Amino acid sequence: MNYKTNIDYRKETLTKLLNNVIIHESEIVQALYDDFKKPAFEAVLTETSYVISELKDTIKNIERWAKPKKVFPSILNFPSTDYLYKEPYGKVLIIAPWNYPYQLALCPLVSAVAAGNQVVLKPSELTPKTSAIIAKIIASTFNVNHVEVIEGGAETSQNLLSQRWDYIFFTGSVAVGKIVAKAAAINLTPITLELGGKNPCIVDETANLKLAAKRIVWGKFMNAGQTCIAPDYILIQKDVKNKFVTHLKDEITAAYGPKPEESTDFARIVNSRNWSRLVSMIEPEKVIFGGQTDSENCYISPTLIDESNLDSLIMKGEIFGPLLPILTYDSEADLHVIISKYEKPLSLYVFTKNNSFAKKIIETYSFGGGCINDTLVHFSNKRLPFGGVGHSGIGAYHGRLSFDVFSHSKGIVKKANWLDLTMRYAPYKDKLTTIKKLLKWM
């Protein structure tokens, strides 16, 4: 089977995959719950329905995306017709993380297949139930030489990285991203790195504080804070801090009740190693809300932390859990000192009614993407690129861009023979003035 050129085959297998993911939807939701008690609502919203929508959109558009496209020719080549061909890279390796273990494995896979590649997917070992279902679905959909799932941990991943690939798509931590980039460099393999960072969330004195608190609580504590684009820390204008903290507390209680450990809408930390890492960040005297932990169930309650020390453990790196440090600022200069201390984040959020302040923040800082007056939702628009910059990642995907990520764009000029202008050919004598004029005119 020639996966490379056969669009019908790609479409057929993606349709088969769509049917299989629909059939297995409740099993996937259950696996996500078994892995870290991901609430069913969040599993459907952020994982299964997202994959289904990605598949439908891809199947609908694949022919249009894959078709060679005519582009406007250069007058220098007159007479010609110019084309852009989308060529599959060949063998693609996809390495996925555990926090959205289904969606972040399947979505790149769908696009890699649509673009005509052979794919090996390595899901995360930290969510074994989900990994097993993914392996089952893929094995029952694809020929093993076309798409294969190889389960395992870091060692398996490194074995795969030691082989030669035509493209590597990695989602995970900055530290492992560097390992992937090093491995890819040996064969100059092109890569996408979807990494993380310390995402600031700025709230100024003009913001609708109650609504801001509600949207921040939603974005921060979904998936128990284990979201790469979750707000990492709050920067609140100091005059409105107390009022805002009251709203945050109210919104946490409204979402998860007085006992979040009993709420079916709040996930658990993925394993005890991550639980211990997060618990070590909690300094009890700084906790202004929450702070309850339970090692047996890998539980940490939604926690607000009054923070002013940028050298504290919680302000060192990405938190990736339900701990929300709250820092105050007085001036834009204060904001600059704090935000600039960290590498370019994956996302940034600003809550304000002051449009020029929002514009200034967006234009001043470099970050992957973000929102004004909301959190996370930029992820859901397929027309927006999703990816980081600097340490938060290389490359971006989603929607049509995902198809392009897994395709090499080949530029072709088809020259006509009915005319052959002699200007470009040697001998060049007496042609320099004319070519200069012509080039100036271009």
Please report, as ranges, the residues that interact with ligand NAD according to CB under 6 A: 95-99, 104, 122, 124-125, 153-154, 157-158, 171-173, 176, 179, 194-196, 228, 318, 320, 346, 388, 393
**58/347 with CB nearer ligand NAD:** 347
Residue closest to ligand NAD, measured at CB: 196
Find out whether 111 and 89 touch, Cβ atoms under 8 Å: no
Distances (CA, A) of 127 to 19, 20, 32, 100, 280: 23, 20, 8, 9, 23
Find out whether 31 and 130 touch, Cβ atoms under 8 Å: yes
> What 3-state DSSP class applies to 241?
helix
Smallest distance from the beta carbon of 84 to ligand NAD, in angstroms?
27
Smallest distance from the beta carbon of 76 to ligand NAD, in angstroms?
41
Tokens of residue 394, six digits: 């290389």
**35/318 with CB nearer ligand NAD:** 318
DSSP string, 386-408: B---GGGEE--BSTHHHHHHTEE
Catalytic residue among 228, 307, 318, 343: 228
Smallest distance from the beta carbon of 410 to ligand NAD, in angstroms?
28
Residue ranges in 44-102 assigned as alpha helix (H): 49-66
DSSP string, 333-390: HHHHHHHHTSPPPSEEEEE-S-HHHHHHHHHHS--SEEEES-SSGGGG-TTS-B---G
**170/256 with CB nearer ligand NAD:** 170
Smallest distance from the beta carbon of 164 to ligand NAD, in angstroms?
16
Contacts of 302 (CB under 8 A, 6+ apart): 217, 220, 221, 225, 252, 256, 260, 266, 289, 290, 322, 324
Whole-number Å distance between alpha carbons of 254 and 360? 33
**163/409 with CB nearer ligand NAD:** 163
**62/324 with CB nearer ligand NAD:** 324
Smallest distance from the beta carbon of 319 to ligand NAD, in angstroms?
10
Smallest distance from the beta carbon of 129 to ligand NAD, in angstroms?
15
Smallest distance from the beta carbon of 222 to ligand NAD, in angstroms?
13
Find out whether 364 and 200 touch, Cβ atoms under 8 Å: no
**116/200 with CB nearer ligand NAD:** 200
Active-site residue, 228 included: yes
**153/257 with CB nearer ligand NAD:** 153
Active-site residue, 87 included: no
Contacts of 255 (CB under 8 A, 6+ apart): 217, 218, 221, 263, 265
Distances (CA, A) of 152 to 76, 155, 207: 54, 7, 46
Whole-number Å distance between alpha carbons of 16 and 394? 31
Token pair 């992820």 is found at 379
Smallest distance from the beta carbon of 157 to ligand NAD, in angstroms?
3
**171/402 with CB nearer ligand NAD:** 171
Catalytic residue among 42, 47, 194, 318: 194
Tokens of residue 309, six digits: 């020390």
Among residues 227, 216, 228, the alpha carbon closest in space to that of 252 is found at 216
Token pair 């008690």 is found at 37
**8-state DSSP, 131:** H
Whole-number Å distance between alpha carbons of 381 and 317? 28
Catalytic residues: 194, 228
